[in-house]
Structures are given as structure tokens and as C-alpha cells.
């Protein structure tokens, strides 16, 4: 700290003394300033992250206070750094890399707020996150038992129950817990907007979008979305038709939005959990290795070892011992409240990376394990970069890494290889089943993910009147996903924060971007591994397993170790040779399913699209 302030006063003096100071001298000085700063930044962010971890893994008032104090400390520091940076004329620097680092150091985020308001916002946000984590509801069958948490009890019912009344009960109980979030949320929107303006953005929406370094990004996504919409509508129509056959005409209408509690997920974000009741060929296998995992006695730890093995098979970095020593891989049984939502953490120290996950032994969780390990691999790959570059090329890249591996892990080829899938005969019908299962997760998710941020952008931009906030949410969900709540909601409810990322102020566009680009990465890895050839039925994209392929690993490594040191198209190019985000790889992957759905839906006179929902009204 000492050295830096000294250097700083020297440079200030220089600027003050001479207006025509040589820009190159000023750049040299700035470079020195940035270099000296790096260690200090890592140290302070490390402290902050430790406090965040202590809180997230053990929610108590004392830990909340400590966490918010640490964040306030970091905020103050970041603001000071930004002010120092802005005294340089960095916008006109010739050294592009230095300019990039300075531009990142100039960002203040919420710390731009006056200190009191910044603290108020921190405490508002941790309060909302805590209330999300603490939601408890009563058991449907035994209403005196009132300690059911989202993870694992409520999720276990939502994913497996086929009783519409029971599903509706848990849906209503869970969502009703968020009525009280409206008040803090209103203040959160106000303070978010104020901070965005202090950072010279029109609103928080533009602030979030700036991470993608492309003014046309929102429009690009709209375009890709328009391309995908026909496949989504075919899938949606087919699912509604099958659910109608399963639950009957009274529960599911012919043409309306799908009642979301029937889709196997509290937010209807992925629908894979109900695959067994709606799969195209019920008499053919539908891959679910969960039972086999349990039968083989696979533990959560073993699941992480399997993930580690995949990364090392690609010649990527092995998990360090610190990871095993410090991670929380199972839900603690001592009764403490914690944030179970799976997450990966970088502590900005050599090899200190951790995961917190209340892991259960299921196929779906095996994919989540790979997802989280993807974050960890990225942390390890870019850990020698300057602090400001120790992040994803854009937020979507960070989310995509592990999913690319999951696409490979979930193929029949790989599951057979690791002995989890036995007696599986691949034929056309099994293949359609498998693609359908994938689409329930990967395609159904796209409009969901888009609406999470479209909704918040609209609030940030002040486009929705406060007395329409709840119905505006459901209108978006209806418009993009064609789903609706199981009961009539009103402006007495406030339902968006029932999604963790909304309660916890986590931008969501990253997941939409990830679900698009992960198919570009996967396709590219498969081509490198000689496992995919367009038009060759012997080498289809959906059964490509690039496990053990050093060539694919090398491409991955080259991209990952860049961190955020270059704009994302550069990073993408290093891996795939492409510089654009496109929906082409998804379309290629799902092409056989798209064709099948079109024929099948036509044959069965399935209605495509959906009529208006009447499930949200101004007030009850």
C-alpha cells in the first residue's frame, strides 16, 4: 500500500507539473502502477472471498455482517483504484494491453455509490439471498412437518412426483415465500440504477451487457433466438400433447401455455426430469444412469474424481490438493443453514479453488459436477494472468467450459466406456429418445434464460410500472416459453425472486450465451478428435466423446489460459477458428430431432404455438 501511494503521488506531480508530459512516460508509469497494484488486488479480493465463503457455507447474522464488511472494504479500495486510474489519459494510450487493463480497473460497479448507500445495497442483497436459502415449507402429506428445504426435499418431489395436486401445492408454497421480497427488491432496483448512472451507463442493463464488449450483442441474441424458435415450438407442442395424454384434458389444455408445475423443475427451466413420461419411444431405452450410479456405490467424492479424470485425460490441469481439503461436496448434516446452490470459487491465491455443492448421486448431478469443475479448470488455467484478466472471456464462456465436457460425458459412447451404461442398443429410435432428452434440457432452457434478464433489463430501464411487476414477469415467461403458473397470480405476489439468481443479483444472460456457444465448442472439439463429420452417419455429433483427446485439450487450454486478456471473439477463434456466436452448431446437433418432431406433430395434428394465458391478474 505504501509503495503504491508513493508512486501515485509522484505520478500526480508529474501530470500536474507538465501538461505536455510525454505520453510514453505516462504509459510507463501507468504500467508500473498496474503491476504494483496486482498483488494488493488479489489480497483484498481473497479476504472478501473468504468472508463470502464463510457466509455462504454457514448463514448466520455474524457471518453476514463480516461478509458485508469485507465487501464494503473491497468496494472502497476498488473505488480508490478507479479514481487513480482515471487520472491517467488511458483512453489515448498506445499500448493496447495496458489500455485494456486500465479500462477494467476503471470500473467501479456498485462501489460507485456513496458509502452509506453501498452498504445498504450489500445488506439488501445478502438479505434477499439469505431469505432464498432459508425458505422452508410444510410437507404435503404431513402438514405438521414444516422443515422442508428446496434442496433436497422440495426438489426431490418436483422432479419425481406425477401428482398434479402435490406438485401444485409445493409450487404455491415455495413461490408464496417471496411476496415479502418485493419491498427490498424495489430498493435494490433503485440503487442498482443509481450505481449504473454513476458508472456512466443508462441503466443496469447496459452495465451488464458491457461485459460482452459488443454494442450489437442484444440484437445478435434476438436473431439467434428467432432461428431457434421453430425448433422450440415443435418441442413445446409435442411436450404439451404428451402431457395432455398423460394427465388428461382437465389438467393440460390443447392450445394454451403449459402449466409449469408439470415440467419437473420449479422454474420449468429444464424439462429432462419428466422425460420418462413423454419420451418419443417409451419401449426404447432412455438413458438414466442414476440407479446404476447408486448401485455401484458411487459417492459425491467419486463423482468429482470422475470429472477430474476427464480433464486430465485431455492433458488439462489436475485438481490441486487444496481443492479436496477445502471444498464442501456434500450437504453438511449439522443443521446449519447454507446456500446449497452449487457454485465454484476462486480465492485468487495459487491453487486455492473450491466448490460448494450439496451433491446427490444422480446423473443430472454428475453433469453439474462437470459444470462446476469447468469453472475450476478456467480458474487454474488463467491464474498467472493479471488480476483483471482472471475471469472468463465473457461471462458465458465461464459457464460453457464444463458443459462442453458434460455433452461428451452424457453420450451413450462415454457412459458405456465408464461402465455406467449396460445393455444399450443404439438404433434410430433410441437415438431420437436421446436427442429428445437433451432438447428437454438444452432447448427448453433457452427462452427461460433469455426472460430472466429481459425481465430485469426492463425493470432496470424503468420500462415497467411497479404495480405491473409481477404480471410483467409472467407475460414474458408466457411469450417466450409458452408456460404459465399452476394458479392465478396477482400483484400481491412477487414471483421472479423465486429463482436464485434473481434473489442473489446474478446476471443470467451468461447461461443463454453458454448454451449457444457450448455447442460451437463441442462441435469443434469433436472435429479435432475425428469424432464428427457432417453428413457421415457413422460419426454423428450427438454421440461424439472426445475423452482422452489431447488435440481437443490443447485447443481448450489455449483459450482458457487467455482469461479475459483479449476480447471474446479472439478467445473463441483460438479454440474454434470462428469469431461469431451462432446457432448453427445447435441446429446441426438437433437436426434429426427437428425433422422427427415436425413429421410427428403434423401426423398427430398437434397445435403449434400457444394461446394467451389468464394466470396473472392485477389484483386478486
Ligand X SMILES: *[C@@H]1O[C@H](CO)[C@@H](O)[C@H](O)[C@H]1NC(C)=O
Q: Which residues bind Zn ion (CB under 5 A)?
A: 399
Residue 515: name the closest of 446, 438, 594 by CA. Answer: 446
Which one from 236, 261, 414, 501 is the annotated catalytic residue? 501
- From the CB of 78, what's the least distance to ligand X, in Å? 11
> Which CB sits closer to ligand X, 60 or 384?
60
C-alpha separations of 298 from 327, 418, 590 in Å: 18, 12, 31
The set of residues, in sequence order, having a beta carbon less than 8 Å from that of 194 and lying 6+ positions away, is: 113, 117
> Which CB sits closer to Zn ion, 348 or 515?
515
Q: Measured in whole angstroms, how far is the alpha carbon of residue 274 from the centre of its chain?
A: 22
Report the C-alpha gap between 596 and 579 in whole angstroms.
32
Coil, helix or strand at residue 257: coil
> Which CB sits closer to ligand X, 60 or 92?
60
Reported as half-sphere exposure (CB side, CA atoms, 13 A), residue 258 has a value of 29
60 touches, from Zn ion, ligand X, none (C-beta below 5 to 8 Å by class): ligand X
86 touches, from Zn ion, ligand X, none (C-beta below 5 to 8 Å by class): ligand X
- From the CB of 29, what's the least distance to ligand X, in Å? 20
Q: Is the peptide bond before 343 cis (omega within 30 degrees of 0)?
A: no
H or E stretch covering 266: none
Three cell numbers, residue 185: 427488491
Strands 258-259 and 483-484: parallel
Give φ, ψ of 22 to 5 degrees: -55, 125
As a whole number of angstroms, the longest Cα–Cα distance in the chain is 83
Report the C-alpha gap between 258 and 556 in whole angstroms.
39
58 touches, from ligand X, Zn ion, none (C-beta below 5 to 8 Å by class): ligand X
Helices (H) and strands (E) in the chain, counts: 25, 8
Residue 327: name the closest of 350, 307, 304, 306 by CA. Answer: 304
**DSSP per-residue letters across 194-247:** HHHHHTT-SSHHHHHHGGG--TTHHHHHHHHHHHHHHHHHHHHHHHHHHHHHHH
Binding site for ligand X (CB under 6 A): 58, 60, 62-63, 86, 106, 108, 112, 199-200, 334, 336
- From the CB of 58, what's the least distance to ligand X, in Å? 4
- CB-CB contact of 411 with 524 (8 Å): no
> Which CB sits closer to Zn ion, 137 or 150?
150
- From the CB of 83, what's the least distance to ligand X, in Å? 8
- From the CB of 27, what's the least distance to ligand X, in Å? 19
C-alpha separations of 90 from 14, 17, 389, 391 in Å: 15, 18, 17, 22
- From the CB of 562, what's the least distance to Zn ion, in Å? 19
- From the CB of 79, what's the least distance to ligand X, in Å? 9
65 touches, from ligand X, Zn ion, none (C-beta below 5 to 8 Å by class): none
> Which CB sits closer to Zn ion, 29 or 399?
399
Catalytic residue flag (residue 39): no
322 touches, from ligand X, Zn ion, none (C-beta below 5 to 8 Å by class): none
> Which CB sits closer to ligand X, 35 or 336?
336
Three cell numbers, residue 520: 460451437
Catalytic residue flag (residue 501): yes
> Which CB sits closer to Zn ion, 355 or 572?
355
Which one from 273, 372, 478, 557 is the annotated catalytic residue? 372
Residues annotated catalytic, as ranges = 372, 501
Amino acid at each position: 500500500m505504501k509503495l503504491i501511494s508513493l508512486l501515485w503521488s509522484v505520478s500526480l506531480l508529474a501530470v500536474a507539473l507538465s501538461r505536455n508530459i510525454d505520453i510514453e512516460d505516462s504509459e510507463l508509469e501507468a504500467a508500473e502502477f498496474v503491476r504494483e497494484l496486482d498483488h494488493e488486488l488479489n489480497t483484498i479480493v481473497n479476504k472478501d472471498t473468504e468472508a463470502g465463503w464463510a457466509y455462504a457455507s454457514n448463514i448466520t447474522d455474524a457471518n453476514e455482517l463480516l461478509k458485508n464488511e469485507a465487501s464494503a472494504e473491497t468496494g472502497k479500495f476498488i473505488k480508490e483504484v478507479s479514481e487513480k486510474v482515471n487520472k491517467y489519459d488511458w483512453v489515448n494510450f498506445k499500448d493496447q494491453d495496458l489500455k485494456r487493463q486500465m479500462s477494467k480497473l476503471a470500473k467501479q460497479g456498485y462501489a460507485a455509490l456513496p458509502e452509506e448507500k453501498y452498504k445498504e445495497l450489500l445488506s439488501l442483497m445478502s438479505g434477499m439471498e439469505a431469505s432464498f436459502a432459508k425458505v422452508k415449507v410444510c410437507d404435503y402429506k404431513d402438514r405438521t412437518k414444516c422443515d422442508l428445504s428446496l434442496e433436497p426435499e422440495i426438489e426431490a418431489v418436483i422432479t419425481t412426483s406425477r401428482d398434479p395436486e402435490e406438485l401444485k401445492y409445493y409450487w404455491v408454497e415455495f413461490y408464496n415465500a417471496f411476496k415479502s421480497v418485493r419491498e427490498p427488491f424495489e430498493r435494490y432496483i433503485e440503487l442498482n440504477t443509481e450505481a449504473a448512472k454513476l458508472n456512466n451507463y443508462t441503466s443496469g442493463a447496459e452495465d451488464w451487457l458491457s461485459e460482452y464488449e459488443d454494442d450489437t450483442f442484444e440484437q445478435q441474441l434476438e436473431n439467434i433466438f428467432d432461428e431457434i424458435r421453430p425448433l422450440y415450438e415443435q418441442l413445446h407442442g409435442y411436450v404439451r400433447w404428451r402431457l395432455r395424454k398423460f394427465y388428461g384434458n382437465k389438467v393440460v389444455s390443447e392450445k394454451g401455455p403449459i402449466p409449469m408445475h408439470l415440467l419437473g423443475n420449479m422454474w420449468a427451466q429444464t424439462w429432462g426430469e419428466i422425460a420418462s413420461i413423454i419420451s418419443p419411444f417409451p419401449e426404447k431405452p432412455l438413458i438414466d444412469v442414476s440407479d446404476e450410479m447408486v448401485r455401484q456405490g458411487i459417492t459425491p467424492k467419486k463423482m468429482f474424481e470422475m470429472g477430474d479424470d476427464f480433464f486430465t485425460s485431455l492433458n488439462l490441469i489436475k485438481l490441486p490438493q487444496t481443492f479436496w481439503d477445502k471444498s464442501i461436496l456434500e450437504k453438511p448434516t449439522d443443521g446449519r443453514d447454507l446456500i446449497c446452490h452449487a457454485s465454484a470459487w476462486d480465492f485468487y491465491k495459487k491453487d486455492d479453488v473450491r466448490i460448494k455443492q450439496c451433491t446427490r448421486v444422480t446423473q443430472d448431478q454428475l453433469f453439474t459436477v462437470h459444470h462446476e469443475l469447468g469453472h475450476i479448470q478456467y480458474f487454474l488455467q488463467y491464474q498467472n494472468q493479471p488480476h483483471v484478466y482472471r475471469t472468463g472471456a465473457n461471462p458465458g464462456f465461464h459457464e460453457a467450459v464444463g458443459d462442453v465436457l458434460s455433452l461428451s460425458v452424457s453420450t451413450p459412447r462415454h457412459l458405456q466406456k465408464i461402465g455406467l451404461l449396460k445393455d444399450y442398443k443404439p438404433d434410430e429410435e433410441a437415438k431420437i429418445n436421446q436427442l429428445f432428452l437433451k432438447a428437454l434440457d438444452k432447448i427448453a432452457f433457452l427462452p427461460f434464460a433469455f426472460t430472466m434478464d429481459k425481465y430485469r433489463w426492463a425493470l432496470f430501464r424503468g420500462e415497467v410500472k411497479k404495480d405491473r411487476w409481477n404480471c410483467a414477469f409472467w407475460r414474458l415467461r408466457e411469450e417466450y416459453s409458452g408456460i404459465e403458473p399452476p394458479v392465478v397470480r396477482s400483484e400481491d405476489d412477487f414471483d421472479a425472486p423465486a429463482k436464485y439468481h434473481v434473489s442473489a443479483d446474478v446476471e443470467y444472460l451468461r447461461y443463454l450465451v453458454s448454451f449457444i456457444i457450448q455447442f460451437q465448442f463441442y462441435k469443434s472439439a469433436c472435429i479435432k478428435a475425428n469424432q464428427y463429420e457432417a453428413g457421415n452417419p457413422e460419426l454423428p455429433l450427438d454421440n461424439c466423446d472426445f475423452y482422452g483427446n489431447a488435440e481437443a485439450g490443447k485447443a481448450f487450454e489455449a483459450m482458457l489460459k487467455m482469461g479475459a486478456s483479449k476480447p471474446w471473439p479472439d478467445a473463441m477463434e483460438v479454440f474454434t477458428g470462428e469469431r461469431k456466436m451462432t446457432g448453427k452448431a445447435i441446429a446441426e446437433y438437433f437436426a434429426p430431432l427437428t425433422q422427427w418432431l415436425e413429421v410427428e406433430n403434423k401426423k398427430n395434428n398437434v397445435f403449434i404455438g400457444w394461446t394467451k394465458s389468464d394466470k396473472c391478474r392485477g389484483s386478486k
